[in-house]
Structure 1
Amino acid sequence: MAIPSTDPAISMRLAPERGTPESQPGAASAQLHDFATCCAATGVPFSTLDASGEGLASTALDVDAVWLTDDVWAGPLNTPNGLWPGRWPSHVPLWITHPQAVPAHLTVAWDGRPQAAGLLAAAARLSRAWTVPLRLLVVARHDDIYLGVDTLDTAAERLMALGVTPATAMLQRGERTTLLVAATAPDSMLITGWRFPTPGSAPRHTDVTERFFTQRRGAALLYPTPLSAGRW
């Protein structure tokens, strides 16, 4: 994942599961090359690292983000080879990619919790570096009386303080996963939180996360947040 910074960021691609059409020799390198080409064309500083299987566990300690491709979710998520992130020892963002590697716009989805406010900074950073518009979405349950227009205004003000004016700003109420899936699109990347139960532990895999992964229509960038910062 090429997160722009003054220093080159590191990208790592998760190779497809064995037995899938994408897992033929050379497929991983070719797809990683396509990603690097897109980053170079948009002026995003990056370096890349290709790893798969058991090599992911140790390599994940030294990267800024882990890039997963669509075909990873086609088979069982908890595999003996450790392809599911549950075995990874470090808290790094997970980028679940889409054929359009560099999106035309970004959507940041925030649930208003202060612990997850770092999502806004990450989204603003990417929006500035990629020079693509950023859409703001605040998601809330129907019965959540603490989230409202004030939360939306606060988020918009934080983004503007970071140098990005949201192209759109919306507050939506409903079932969180349904709202997040609806916010995805083939030409967009959704930026939202990923819950870790305790420091140093793996992300939690639930029916909710699997439904999001399998139903989403575009790329997603999932940032690690504490257990108290999200509902997954």
Structure 2
Amino acid sequence: MDLTTRKSVSSQTLREQSRGDRPVRRSLFRRFLRWGGFGFIILVAIVFGGFLHFADSITTLKPPPEPKADAIVVLTGGYQRIGQAVELLRTGAGNRLLISGVHPTTTPSQIRRLTQSPVSLFNCCVDVGYDALDTIGNAREAAKWIHARGYKSILVVTNNYHMPRSLAELKYVDPATDFIPYPVVNSDLKTTNWFTDPNALRTMLSEYAKVLLAGARNLTGLGRPLGLRSRETDDDPD
């Protein structure tokens, strides 16, 4: 066999091998796309199912019929929450109240007037926390207050849609304390057809996304901000 014939045979062999490899590569690529598509559909189904479970738990969440704890913590975000917390304090559901995450320009007197609370009640039994910037900060600020006073059980007052994330952050920072949810029902979520209201649906979707993010953050311990105006904290397990 001369040199020209050898080259021709070698070229033909390489072309045949190349053609043989192409179906294998295409098959692997198609298989990857197929399983990737299945995985994406399953992931979407899990996330959607989780949202339905989250929404159902929120809309059916109710306060305990006879709330009682050592103290009360309310997470700011509306005077409806604070008013409910002050009322719980007045009726003896807790011995003391922390209003966490108050803006620095807001005074206790302003809060007292807006909630129409007695001066004596505020002077004896209400503490105003100015350090928290967000829900993580609320948890850290509340844990510091709880430990300083030796409380074992706490009524947590916040909106119903905000309650799962609030409890998750509180338990992450302070797993030893018994946190009892006292949800304040958001007016947009009182009807059974809240999902047809764009504002209510937007609120629920946004909060569900935050719950997923908080769960991943607490599980991994990564990307967890301080959440406080000050830089001092000694209650984080990180």
Greater percentage in strand? 1
**Bigger Cα Rg:** 2
Q: Report the TM-score when normalising by structure 2.
A: 0.39
Q: Report the TM-score when normalising by structure 1.
A: 0.39
Greater percentage in helix? 2
